[in-house]
């Protein structure tokens, strides 16, 4: 019996269609055990790299490809996603099994890779709705465990020593996002100006280098259908070698802010919900990674908020140039001073 498509898939959107017959032939040549009778559906949501559910007569797969159109040279790096997930196959980091990478644009229009489809649960909200206290606590323990596992990856054993530059990560990131913010600036935002100056002048001296995910959060994990166990970390598009505290802070900023899609942990009753306090979260992370503490966490959280503000500014400018609704435009425009203000408060620069 042929597999049934997951509920969170639909017909392939017009802009993302491709020659399914050519893909069928390619799969037969490059994926061991592929049995034909290809089914193709597209996952819902706004992934920057379009993602599809595939099935043959017996097995299910997932395909991620570069989007169509003109792209920045370093953007939508599906080859890097494939490389890192394949390298992590024998580690404590849960990832889907990789089958094959195709960099021949003549097959379906852009580069793509095929991997195992991992059925399970994705928790879209930081407060983990729909589970009891004990399971919620276990889910957060797994979130911390997997983050530590990523940062504990042996770069030499996994062949990832050249996956990014060693050292100077924070300085490069501050410069990169400052440049992107300035390029999309539409008005003076005093909090952003103060933040840029402070972040540039106060880069921490601890220059550790590990594998970093770049977008590590609860909704980028697939959990077992009935157990609080992570089966796969997904969306490795922004992964590189960098400072591990950038990943930690990216999660911990949810203790200080509420975001539109994922919500946040501001004001949460930790005892009642089973969610760890920020202090408990950080202490457990330090225990699993051998750190004695995280004295510069406020810096990294401020940077994470700055990066989000810079992204929001870019979306805001593009919405002004295009046909996005005024409601959408105003939401992103208002987010810039709001996020920057929270970041300034965290590091005491008002």
Residues β-bridged to residue 223: 121, 230
> Residue 306 in contact with residue 177, Cβ under 8 Å?
yes
Return phi, psi of residue 195, to 5°: -65, -45
Beta strand residue intervals within the chain, DSSP E? 9-10, 39-43, 51-55, 60-65, 98-102, 112-116, 210-212, 221-223, 230-233, 240-242
> Going by DSSP bridges, is the β-strand pair 51-55/39-43 parallel, antiparallel, or unpaired?
antiparallel
The percentage of residues in the chain with a pLDDT greater than 90, rounded to a whole number, is 84
Measured from the Cβ of residue 335, the count of other Cβ atoms closer than 10 Å reads: 20
The answer, yes or no, to whether residue 166 has pLDDT greater than 80, is yes
The answer, yes or no, to whether residue 322 has pLDDT greater than 90, is no
pLDDT at 11: 95
Q: Of 43-47, 180-184, 216-220, 329-333, which range is least confident? A: 43-47
Residues 233-277: tens digit of each pLDDT: 999 999 999 999 999 999 999 999 999 889 999 999 999 999 999
The answer, yes or no, to whether residue 327 has pLDDT greater than 80, is no
Q: How far apart are CA 283 and CA 248, in angstroms?
A: 12
Residues of CATH 3.30.200.20 domain(s) within the chain? Answer: 9-116
At 348, the pLDDT band (50, 70, 90 cuts) reads very high
pLDDT at 206: 87
Mean pLDDT, all residues of the chain: 93
Regarding predicted confidence, which is higher, 15 or 265?
265
pLDDT at 44: 85
At 2, the pLDDT band (50, 70, 90 cuts) reads confident
Q: Average pLDDT for residues 292-311, to the nearest whole number?
A: 96
Beta strand residue intervals within 259-307, DSSP E? none
Residues β-bridged to residue 60: 55
Q: How far apart are CA 74 and CA 263, in angstroms?
A: 30
Q: How far apart are CA 299 and CA 75, in angstroms?
A: 27
pLDDT at 73: 54
Angstrom distances, CA of residue 321 to CA of 67, 302, 312? 21, 29, 14
pLDDT at 84: 98
Statement: 9-116 belongs to CATH 3.30.450.20: no
The answer, yes or no, to whether residue 324 has pLDDT greater than 80, is no
pTM: 0.93
Angle at 296 between CA 294 and CA 298, to 5 degrees: 110
Two structure tokens written together for 347: 């590091």
Q: Average pLDDT for residues 48-67, to the nearest whole number?
A: 93
Closest by Cα among 227, 262, 277 to 128: 262
The answer, yes or no, to whether residue 47 has pLDDT greater than 70, is no
> Residue 189 in contact with residue 336, Cβ under 8 Å?
yes
Q: How far apart are CA 275 and CA 48, in angstroms?
A: 30
Residues of CATH 3.90.1200.10 domain(s) within the chain? Answer: 133-346
Statement: 133-346 belongs to CATH 3.90.1200.10: yes
pLDDT at 350: 74
pLDDT at 323: 53
135 SS3 class: helix
Two structure tokens written together for 68: 């169509």
pLDDT at 190: 96
Q: How far apart are CA 123 and CA 218, in angstroms?
A: 6
pLDDT at 76: 62
Residues 107-134: tens digit of each pLDDT: 999 999 999 999 999 999 999 999 999 9
Give the H/E segment covering residue 42: strand 39-43
Q: Average pLDDT for residues 28-35, to the nearest whole number?
A: 97
Q: How far apart are CA 302 and CA 207, in angstroms?
A: 17
Regarding predicted confidence, which is higher, 212 or 74?
212
Closest by Cα among 150, 137, 127 to 232: 150
Angle at 45 between CA 216 and CA 117, to 5 degrees: 70
Closest by Cα among 31, 225, 15 to 109: 15
Sign of CA dihedral 66, 68, 71, 73: positive
Q: How far apart are CA 340 and CA 306, in angstroms?
A: 6
Give the H/E segment covering residue 182: helix 169-184
């Amino acid at each position: 019996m042929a597999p049934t498509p997951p509920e969170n898939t639909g017909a392939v959107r017009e802009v993302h269609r491709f020659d399914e017959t050519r893909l069928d032939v390619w799969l037969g040549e490059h994926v061991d055990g592929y049995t034909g009778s290809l089914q193709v559906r597209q996952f819902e949501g706004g992934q920057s790299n379009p993602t599809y559910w595939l099935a043959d007569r017996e097995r299910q797969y997932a395909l991620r490809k570069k989007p169509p159109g003109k792209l920045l040279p370093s953007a939508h790096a599906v080859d890097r996603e494939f490389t890192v997930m394949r390298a992590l196959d024998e580690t404590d980091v849960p990832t889907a099994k990789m089958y094959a990478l195709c960099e021949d644009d003549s097959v379906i229009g852009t580069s793509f890779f095929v991997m195992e489809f991992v059925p399970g649960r994705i928790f879209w909200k930081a407060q983990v709705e729909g589970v009891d206290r004990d399971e919620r606590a276990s889910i957060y323990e797994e979130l911390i465990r997997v983050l530590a596992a990523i940062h504990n990856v042996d770069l030499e054993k996994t062949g990832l020593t050249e996956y990014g530059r060693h050292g100077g990560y924070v300085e490069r990131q501050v410069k990169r996002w400052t440049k992107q913010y300035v390029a999309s600036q539409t008005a003076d935002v005093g909090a952003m100006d103060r933040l840029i100056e402070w972040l540039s002048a106060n880069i921490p001296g601890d220059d550790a280098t590990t594998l970093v995910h770049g977008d590590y959060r609860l909704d980028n994990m697939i959990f077992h259908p009935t157990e609080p166990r992570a089966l796969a970390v997904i969306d490795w598009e922004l992964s590189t070698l960098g400072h591990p505290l950038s990943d930690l802070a990216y999660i911990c900023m949810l203790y200080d802010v509420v975001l539109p899609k994922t919500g946040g942990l501001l004001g949460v009753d930790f005892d009642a919900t089973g969610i760890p306090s920020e202090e408990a979260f950080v202490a457990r992370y330090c225990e699993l990674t051998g750190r004695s503490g995280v004295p510069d966490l406020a810096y990294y959280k401020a940077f994470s908020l700055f990066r989000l503000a810079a992204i929001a500014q870019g979306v805001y400018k593009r919405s002004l140039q295009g046909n996005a609704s005024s409601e959408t435009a105003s939401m992103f425009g208002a987010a810039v001073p709001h996020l920057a203000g929270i970041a300034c408060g965290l590091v005491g620069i008002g």
